[in-house]
Chain A
Amino acid sequence: MTAADTVKESMSAVMDGEANEMDLARVLRAAAEEPSSRSDWLRHHQQRAALLGQAQVKIDISQRVQMALKDNAKQHNRRHPMTGFAVAASVTLAVVFGGQQLLNGPSADVFKQLPGGVVPIQGAAPVQASYGAPIAAQPMNTSSRSAPTRNQVLYEQLARERFYRYSTEHAQATAALQPNHLIPYARIPERAK
């Protein structure tokens, strides 16, 4: 049995409430680290609900919920003099699409032995915390609201749409600056072409 099958078997046991602690730990770890495991879990429950005739809507707010739980108490606003609207110092409104996966390879100790410590600047710390964790739409200016406003949904869609629209231009504009000129082009998503 492959490692992936071991996770899937443990997941199946967790679904049935028949899992031991090791199964549960394995599934929780996989779900946190592998987007495909979260998708497996989601689909298996959709299929179960369909099989049992339970009404369900196709929706995925799980990342939004996770992010809201994490950042709820951490909203610090600052007001930008020019734009006139408050810009939260913590990371807001970022959405990972296409699933986020932390690739294999060097992890936390990658940079450990280097000289000089990392100095957080202007609220950058929440960025560190956000990358590598599921990120979802977040309230921008308030700490009490958990649901994103329509303005936030609108801008998230705009950012996504611009990502597709301008990927090619971005590659052309920055390829010369990269150590490997090809990579910006390779990054262009299929949909943008």
Chain B
Amino acid sequence: MTARETDQQLVKRAQRGDTRAFDLLVLKYQGRIAALISRYINNSAEVEDVAQEAFIKAFRALPKFRGESAFYTWLYRIAANAAKNHLVARGRRPTSDADVDDAEYFDAAEGLRDTESPEDTLLGDELADVVRSALEDLPEELRMALTLREFDGLSYEEIAEVMECPVGTVRSRIFRARDAVDIRVRAQLRGE
């Protein structure tokens, strides 16, 4: 099972104009696309803007997407180009615009400092640690099913062969493994 195949169902739907399917693709890839754009652009608000622009460009270009590459590879190229174009456009801005200092601009609105700033936290090692430890604590049959899927990239049918059980059982075990990991991660991150 490749990444290409996992997106195929959603991409096909999105190509027929199903924005709900595209929404799931956005939810799936926005964190990684934003990480990519962050390599070009420092400001978190601009990262969000460029990420949004990239997804909208991608949606419009979907009919031209033939599936020769994985959807993510294709999206990655669009996002990288959007980030570069943003930098170029910014370089050409009149200085008066560029000089507007963000902090001063936002301070002009009294009371704003009490509000949350856009989240730009890097989801890094901490989440990875919690997820890994949750995975390790799973019952053997759940952990094995999810590991074969995520790290070895096996299809449900292949996992069924390895684990000598029906495909339906594999599907159910992977779902239960994900659910258990999720519950543990949420509890742990909330408890901090």
Contact = CB atoms under 8 A, between A and B. Distances in A.
Whether A and B touch (Cβ < 8 Å) is answered with yes
Interface of A: 5, 8-9, 11-19, 24, 27-28, 31-32, 38, 40-62, 64-66, 68-70, 72, 134, 146-148, 150, 153-154, 157-158, 160-161, 165
A46 B28 CA distance: 8
Contact of B26 (A57, A62, A146, A150): A62
B178 A31 contact: no
Contacts of A153: 45, 118
Nearest to A147: B49
Interface in B22-69: 22-24, 26-32, 34-36, 38, 45, 47-53, 55-56, 59
A157 B131 CA distance: 33
Contacts of A150: 45, 102, 105
B13 A70 contact: no
Contact of B121 (A28, A45, A58, A68): A58
**Interface range for B:** 35 or more
A16 B27 contact: no
B123 A12 contact: no
A62 B30 CA distance: 8
Interface of B: 1, 5-10, 13, 18-24, 26-32, 34-36, 38, 45, 47-53, 55-56, 59, 102, 105-106, 109, 111-112, 114-115, 118-123, 127-128, 131-132, 135, 149-151, 155-156, 171-172, 174-175, 178-179, 181-182, 185-186
A66 B48 CA distance: 14
B53 A58 contact: no
B119 A58 contact: yes
Contact of B34 (A56, A70, A147): A56
Contacts of B106: 154
Given A47-B185, A57-B47, 7 more contacts: A14-B24, A48-B150, A50-B123, A57-B120, A58-B121, A59-B48, A61-B30
Contacts of B21: 28
A157 B52 contact: no
30 contacts: A8-B175, A8-B179, A12-B179, A14-B10, A14-B24, A16-B1, A16-B6, A16-B156, A17-B5, A28-B18, A38-B27, A41-B27, A41-B28, A45-B28, A45-B29, A46-B127, A47-B185, A48-B150, A55-B35, A56-B122, A57-B31, A57-B121, A59-B120, A60-B27, A66-B23, A68-B52, A146-B56, A147-B49, A157-B115, A161-B112
A57 B56 CA distance: 19
A51 B47 contact: no
Contacts of B118: 59, 153
Given A9-B175, A31-B23, A47-B127, A65 B9 contact: no
